[in-house]
Structure 1
């Protein structure tokens, strides 16, 4: 009679085997290929900085290579949408490109505004590749002082 020992412990893997398993893991690959981890994220969604001052919210979008005429900014149902569309030029060139990394892409970003933003006072300015939006806050209306008579 022979006894076969059943070992449930996993086999010990080398460091190289572990690294290979991590990079071949489908969940890891899906996360790694997500737009955020690639240049496509920043092509489709330009980086944004948002600051709050006592008078306004300041929104800066990093969008180099565009002209101010390329932007479309709209406000509808408290959603501020900033977009730009730049057609790429396909022209025959006499020079051969060894490497071409510049690409101008379209983008669209939307921001939901709170009730403190004064929609009538939104301003936009484009300079040095940064689109600067100033979202003025509504002035707080204080109720007038009122004396209450005790009866």
Structure 2
């Protein structure tokens, strides 16, 4: 079973995948408030031991990010606020954006939620989601008597 991106928007669920980005931008109020700030990109990988999700979070620290699991939904959220000192500067061009994001994924029943671990290094958040040991494929060697 694979990890599924959480989608609680019934309007968006009825459209094909190629409309997903357009609909996300239209109906996601957080992105409308801060148009330059987008949700972070992520990579989702699966192997026989579990899942791994990498989030690209340049400019964030581990203190800016929270990870929660509730009702089989893993939610990664972050908030980066503008520095008060930055507001006092006289910029001629300013492209850094500040804001918040939230990404959610529905976890399959095969994962061991109590053993989820996360590391943060060089702007990359890595969330390791192991599968339950009894559900991992086993390799046995059978002796012949």
- Going from structure 1 to structure 2, the CA distance change for 1:54 and 1:34 (only over 3 Å counts) comes to closer
Q: 2:101 aligns with which of 93, 107, 114?
A: 107
Deviation (angstroms), 1:89: 2.2
Q: 2:121 aligns with which of 113, 127, 142?
A: 127
Q: CA-to-partner distance for each residue in 1:45-83, whole Å, 9 max, x for gaps?
A: 211100011111000111111111111111010001110
**Runs (5+) with no aligned partner, structure 1:** 1-30, 143-151
Q: 2:79 aligns with which of 80, 85, 91?
A: 85
Moved over 6 A (4+): 31-34
**Runs (5+) with no aligned partner, structure 2:** 1-20, 138-145
So what's the TM-score if we normalise by structure 1?
0.62
Equivalent position of 2:68 in the other structure:
74
**Cα distance in 2 between the residues matched to 1:64 and 1:96:** 24
Q: How many residues align?
A: 110
- Going from structure 1 to structure 2, the CA distance change for 1:41 and 1:78 (only over 3 Å counts) comes to farther
The structure number with the bigger radius of gyration is 1
Alignment root-mean-square deviation, CA: 2.9
The higher relative CO (CA closer than 8 Å, separation ≥ 6) is in 2
- Going from structure 1 to structure 2, the CA distance change for 1:133 and 1:86 (only over 3 Å counts) comes to same
Q: 2:54 aligns with which of 57, 60, 70?
A: 60
- Going from structure 1 to structure 2, the CA distance change for 1:32 and 1:80 (only over 3 Å counts) comes to closer
SS across alignment from 1:51: strand
